């Protein structure tokens, strides 16, 4: 089961590995609908549209071919590390964009490239629900998908040990869960940063005291999500020793065995992430970039997102896999931090957080 789950989850990360290579991937894809006019398009379609994105971007090859056939554009993907690395690169190249469009900037990193003027205005042909829009920059970054970073537990491990799993952030610092929790770091991982922001939202200025207690209870901090999930988490590795991990609300849908999931997301610990797409200011092919944004909001792409990238679509009417309705429950009231507050405090918070975990 562990090998099957790991293979499914790592397909997305392996799909795009070299900057400038065309998308390739599996999946049966869907038959795309008739083409629509790209938002803001002014000329005849054609040429290459360059997409800067994170390393986990992946969509079925059939969908990519349909986009190219319908619009006349050739899609070229340039992967740039994780969401944080992507945001940094876009910010540093705002005056000389590395692509025509970008996808994968989330609400924890959006303020920096927006502040540097990296994006141009864009009006998609179909508007996503307002609940996903950024309070600042909503005319430049268009929501495409959402997922919540949540603490996950290995329910099979807890059942075998006869121990009730934790439910809240406060529980993680309880002595009965000593040495059982692992999280990716806030400075090295997007989900790690999201978990850190959940603690800021929950504890305010007392977040440092909470982290001191958490670490004092044996919490382990590793570089990345894969290190945590496949290295230390008992449900992700046969050699893992920690049954509590920071992952996603969708993760339990990929640990189903015998008609039930062997893991669960703790819905009172979640921080919602929304991923956005936009047209880069000064793009060589702004029309192609606008067409690409529209394509990412199409029914075909939105319905492919859960199985291709393990995230929830934002557009109403998109198809969700049956297993997700049962095993990928979304939090009703996830933690949030205003993007402007994140922008104003990120560097100081990370400096202080690094000091806490280094003590």
> What is the spatial distance between Cα 39 and Cα 126, in angstroms, rounded to a whole number?
9
E strands, 185-321, are 220-222, 244-248, 256-257, 260-261, 263-265, 271-279, 312-313
Task: Count the domains in the chain.
Answer: 2
**Tell me, what's the pLDDT at 226?**
87
Residue 13: per-residue pLDDT: 37
Question: Do 260 and 197 fall into the same domain?
Answer: yes
Distance of alpha carbon 335 from alpha carbon 197, whole angstroms: 8
User: CATH number for the domain including 142?
Assistant: 3.40.190.10
Q: Are residues 125 and 155 in the same domain?
A: no
Q: Does residue 46 sit in the same domain as residue 181?
A: no
Confidence band for 45, pLDDT divided at 50, 70 and 90? low
Joined tokens for residue 168: 């809240």
Residue 168 and residue 236 share a domain: yes
Q: Are residues 138 and 199 in the same domain?
A: no
Average pLDDT over residues 192-218: 97
Classify each residue of 174-195 as buried b or exposed e, where b means 16 or more C-beta atoms within 10 Å of its C-beta: eeebeebbbbbbbbbbbbbbbb
Between 55 and 295, residue with greater pLDDT = 295
Same domain, 75 and 220: no
Q: What is the pLDDT of residues 293-314, one digit of tens each?
A: 999 999 999 999 999 988 999 9
Check whether residue 220 and residue 231 sit in a common domain: yes
Q: Long-range pairs for 172-178 at CB < 8 Å and ≥24 separation? A: 172/214, 172/217, 172/219, 172/244, 173/210, 173/213, 173/214, 173/216, 173/217, 174/217, 175/217, 177/217, 177/244, 178/217, 178/218
Same domain, 124 and 39: yes
Domain check: are 173 and 65 in the same one? no
Do residues 155 and 167 both lie within one domain? yes
Q: How far apart are CA 357 and CA 161, in angstroms?
A: 29
Which backbone phi and psi does 199 adopt, to 5 degrees? -70, -35
Give residue 44's pLDDT: 57
Q: What is the pLDDT of residues 220-269, one digit of tens each?
A: 999 888 899 999 999 999 999 999 999 999 999 999 988 899 999 999 99
Residue 130's pLDDT is: 94
Helix (H, G, I), strand (E, B) or coil at 351: helix
- Cα separation of 325 and 196, whole Å? 28
Model pTM?
0.78
Q: In this structure, are 155 and 262 located in the same domain?
A: yes
210: containing domain: 148-271+334-358
Are 85 and 198 part of one and the same domain?
A: no
């Amino acid at each position: 089961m562990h090998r099957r789950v790991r293979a499914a989850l790592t397909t997305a990360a392996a799909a795009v590995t070299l900057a400038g290579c065309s998308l390739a991937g599996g999946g049966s894809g869907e038959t795309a609908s008739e083409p629509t006019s790209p938002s803001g398009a002014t000329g005849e379609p054609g040429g290459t549209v360059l997409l800067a994105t994170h390393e986990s971007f992946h969509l079925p090859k059939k969908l990519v071919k349909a986009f190219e056939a319908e619009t006349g554009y050739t899609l070229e993907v340039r992967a740039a590390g994780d969401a944080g690395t992507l945001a940094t690169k876009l910010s540093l190249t705002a005056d000389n964009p590395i692509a025509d469009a970008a996808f994968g900037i989330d609400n924890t990193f959006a303020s920096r490239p927006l502040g540097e003027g990296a994006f141009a205005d864009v009006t998609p042909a179909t508007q996503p629900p307002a609940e996903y829009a950024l309070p600042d920059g909503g005319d430049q970054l268009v929501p495409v998908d959402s997922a919540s970073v949540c603490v996950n537990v290995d329910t099979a491990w807890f059942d075998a040990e006869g121990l009730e799993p934790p439910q809240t952030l406060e529980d993680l610092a309880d002595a009965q869960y000593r040495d059982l929790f692992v999280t990716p770091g806030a400075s090295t991982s997007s989900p790690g940063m999201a978990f850190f922001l959940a603690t800021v939202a929950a504890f305010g200025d007392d977040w440092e005291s909470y982290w001191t207690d958490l670490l004092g209870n044996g919490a382990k901090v590793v570089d990345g999500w894969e290190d945590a999930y496949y290295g230390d988490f008992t449900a992700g590795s046969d050699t893992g020793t920690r049954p509590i991990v920071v992952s996603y609300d969708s993760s339990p849908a990929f640990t189903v065995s015998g008609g039930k999931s062997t893991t669960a997301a703790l819905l009172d610990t979640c921080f919602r992430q929304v991923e956005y797409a936009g047209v880069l200011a000064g793009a060589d092919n702004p029309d192609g970039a606008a067409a690409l944004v529209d394509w990412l909001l199409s029914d075909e792409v939105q319905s492919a997102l859960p199985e291709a990238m393990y995230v929830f679509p934002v557009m109403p009417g998109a198809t969700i896999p049956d297993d997700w309705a049962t095993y990928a429950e979304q939090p009703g009231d996830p933690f949030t931090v205003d993007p402007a507050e994140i922008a104003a405090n990120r560097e100081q918070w990370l400096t202080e957080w690094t000091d806490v975990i280094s003590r």
